[in-house]
Amino acid sequence: MSDFSHKPVLTGDKVILRPFREGDAETMAAILDDPEVLRLTGSAGQPPFTLDRLREWYGTRGARTDRLDLGLVDRASGALVGELVLNEWDEPNRSCGFRVLIGPEGRDWGLGTEAIRLLLAYAFERLGLHRVHLGVYAFNPRAVRVYERVGFVCEGVERQALLHEGEWIDSIRMAILAPEWARHRGHSGIHTP
């Protein structure tokens, strides 16, 4: 693996992961303004991104060689409903971070689970990564269940990492390794309710 310069289109039964396009900033602005997205990403109470800033941000994702940002499209509606990102690339150790956010139109349809499996398959089978890690706030058990279902393993807790509405929230650190992915390919056998 040399870098993240190739921006693939990954297609599943329910989703398409694709590079960001001109005009996506407007849709992402609405998604990033969703109260649930703001809460679950720890962004509530922070100044909102301006549309100009989002146009600049999403307009430059295709040129980045140190990260992979892909839009999450619901195949049934054709709508952009979120994003998945591989970032914090540690090239010598073949490791990177992962994050996902899904707006209201994409929730509760299984789109996130399929999208995460698609991106992890690409990360391990095409890019040759060894480790993909993430952080998720403890008040997001739905995300923790999805991450466990696709094979992420809890590695620890960053205690009281976020102050949210006067309450301290832990951040759960999770990761998945290439040998684990090779064994179950995103179907870990963990079926949490």
| Model pLDDT for residues 74-115, shown as the tens digit of each residue | 999 999 999 999 999 999 999 999 999 999 999 988 999 999
Which residues contact residue 118 at a Cβ distance below 8 angstroms, ignoring those fewer than 6 apart? 10, 11, 12, 15, 17
* Catalytic residue status for 147: yes
* Predicted confidence (pLDDT) per residue in 148-158, tens digit: 999 999 999 99
Pair 97, 133: CB distance under 8 Å: yes
Active-site residue (options: 58, 122, 137, 147): 147
Q: Which parts of 23-179 are beta strand (E)?
A: 68-74, 80-90, 95-102, 131-137, 153-164, 167-177
Q: Are 136 and 112 in contact (CB under 8 A)?
A: no
Indicate the pLDDT class of residue 44, thresholds 50, 70 and 90: confident
Question: At 193, is the pLDDT very low, low, confident or very high (cuts 50, 70, 90)?
Answer: very low
**Which of 119, 187, 118 has the alpha carbon at shortest distance from 150?**
187
pTM reported for the whole predicted model: 0.93
Task: Calculate the alpha carbon distances from 186 to 36, 37, 113, 128 in Å.
Answer: 26, 24, 9, 16
The string of pLDDT tens digits covering residues 123-161 is 999 999 999 999 999 999 999 999 999 999 999 999 999
Tell me the per-residue pLDDT of 172-189, one tens digit each, with 9 for 90 and over.
999 999 999 999 988 876
Question: Helix, strand, coil proportions of the chain in percent (round to 5)?
Answer: 35, 35, 35
